[in-house]
Amino acid sequence: MITYFYWALILTLIGVVLFLSAKKFDNLKIGLIVAGIIFLLGWGSYYFWLQQIFVKRYGGVMSIAVPAGQHHLAATWKDDNLWIENYDPKTNTCIFSEYSKGNLLQGRVTIKNCNPLIQSAQ
């Protein structure tokens, strides 16, 4: 919900800037430039800083697709970074992938000869 509120706020701010520049100041060109700057700053702030904070702390929205041929096993948070564990049956490996803010720092841990889908004998 917070994600939608954030984007509604950014779009409202852009609309206000465009309205004021066109009606009050009679200079739409400057309004378009300022609106573009607001959009780029809003998008950059969201993608590189706020997205995972919104999801983890305030119930935001985020989607991640499991790569083809892999099985999802688990997900966990370490600080504000999301770690996803998938299993690749073709190579018999477990893959831990980090989704950091803006995907700038992406950690990856591979465990070979891992087969979590086979039940152990009791």
pLDDT in tens, 23-71: 888 888 888 999 999 999 999 998 888 888 888 888 777 788 898 999 9
Give the range of the structural domain holding residue 107, as residue numbers without chain letter. 71-112
pLDDT of residue 28: 86
Average pLDDT of 67-90? 89
Does one domain contain both 18 and 43?
yes
pLDDT of residue 50: 85
Separation CA 100–CA 107 (nearest Å): 8
Does one domain contain both 53 and 8?
yes
Does one domain contain both 108 and 86?
yes
Mean pLDDT score across all residues of the chain: 85
Q: How many CB atoms lie within 10 A of CB 74?
A: 12
Separation CA 74–CA 64 (nearest Å): 13
93-99 and 71-78 beta bridge pairing: unpaired
Q: What does pTM read for this prediction?
A: 0.65
